[in-house]
Amino acid sequence: MNDEAGGWLPVSHTKYFPPSWTRLLNSPTLLTHSMFVCEQLPCTFVSSLCRINNLNMMSINLYNDIIKTIQNNNIRDCQEVLEGKYPTVPFMTLGSLLSNYVQRRMKATHSKHNTPENIDLYYKRFQQAVAAREESGIILRLSDEIGITPVLTARFILEGYLRQLQAQYDKQQNEVGSAGEAEQVADAMGDFHKKKIFYNFGNMRTEITRLLRNSNLIEDQHVAYEVYLCLVHDNHYGPCPDIIKRTVGSEYEMILMKQLDEKKISYLDEKQLRLLGYDKTPDFKLDIPIGIEGRVVNWIESKATFGDEVTHQTYLNEQLTCYFNR
């Protein structure tokens, strides 16, 4: 966020999940970027909080240069490029900034690709590549080409795959006829019943999520392995990044809770607030407000993410304004 005084952005460390995820999990615990808010989130106030909490600061020029570098590079290779170009910036800061950018970009472009026509096209291209015996990484290369993360591209391929199976299933059922005996239907279904692998065609979105969580449930070995590769190589979407994000967020909430306890500051956490009937709650509601540089602080919201201007504004619009009367 651009400070009125010096043009600086607050930096928080977190949210990057490199190919070797143990690199993040085994790294030293870093400070979270927390929002201490009562009435507003002015730029100067945010910057003063960063100074109080000894958070690093990033110049707006450096931030813009990093964003430009991200835009000019492939998503999957971008973290390595960033670490090589900006060695003085912590890798977790770069990863968090990259993660925020990727999520915003996917939200802006995903709907353009997520159409029946495009899904059919992507799945046909996948089938052609398999038939041509192309080397593994077919979906990864497709994701690079269309500019969508590997796991989101894998969702398109899985939807095309399941719709093909559904068409085969419906066709075989129609051939048997509505009056056919159950045993005849089972024989006609062939592999669908013999292999005891069943798919929920009625809720395609849920079924795709289930298969992404366990690619061993995918019957076609080519689809299963290609989806597995996407899960391994996607640092922003998928079951593993989701788990790590939640774990990191919980870890920083625990750090903040410990700091409040050490300072003898009385508070109510989210669970306690929900028991009191609040539907939307900050991480910590202070029983007695405290003062920071002349401002009254009633509650604290912890965000384990890079604190750029767009992120601040998004949280302000979608979440933080609900807390103003707390």
pLDDT of residue 72 exceeding 70, the answer is yes
Domain spans of the chain, in order of start: 8-109+279-299+306-323, 111-233
d(CA 201, CA 211): 12
- Give the residues across from 267 on adjacent strands: 286
C-alpha to C-alpha distance for 272 and 299, rounded to whole angstroms? 14
Rounded Cα distance between 130 and 165, Å, is: 17
Residues 6 or more apart in contact with residue 6 via CB below 8 angstroms: 47
- The pLDDT score that the predictor gives to residue 56 is 63
Mean residue pLDDT across the chain: 78
Residue 272 scores a pLDDT above 70: yes
Centroid of chain to Cα 231: 13
d(CA 195, CA 221) in angstroms, rounded, equals: 13
Question: Where is average pLDDT lowest: 101-115, 214-228, 303-317?
Answer: 303-317
pLDDT-above-70 percentage for the chain: 75
Decide if 17 contacts 235 (C-beta within 8 A): yes
Measured CA to CA, the distance from residue 317 to residue 269 in angstroms comes to: 22
Summarised one tens digit per residue, pLDDT across range 12-66 is 333 333 333 334 333 333 333 444 333 333 333 344 344 444 456 788 999 999 9
What does pTM read for this prediction? 0.73
Q: Specify the pLDDT at position 184.
A: 54
List of E strands, the chain: 8-10, 33-37, 57-59, 267-269, 284-292, 295-303
Q: Give 164's contacts (C-beta < 8 A, 6+ positions apart).
A: 123
Q: Which structure tokens are listed for 111?
A: 């709907």
Average pLDDT for 187-211: 69
Closest CA to 282 of 270, 291, 297: 270
200 pLDDT exceeds 80? no
For residue 9, list its beta bridge partners: 58
Which contacts (CB < 8 Å, 24+ apart) does range 67-71 have? 67/97, 67/101, 70/97, 70/98, 70/101
pLDDT value at residue 277: 86
Provide the pLDDT for residue 197.
58
CA distances to 30, 31, 32, 244, 289 from 54, in Å: 11, 9, 11, 25, 22
- pLDDT of 295 over the 70 cut: yes
pLDDT tens for 174-197 read: 766 554 555 555 555 555 444 445
User: pLDDT at residue 141 above 70?
Assistant: yes
pLDDT of residue 48: 39
Query: What whole-number distance in Å separates Cα of residue 48 and Cα of residue 10?
Result: 10
Residues 303-323 pLDDT 10s: 888 888 888 888 888 888 777
Check whether 7 has a pLDDT greater than 50: no
Mean pLDDT of 89-102: 90
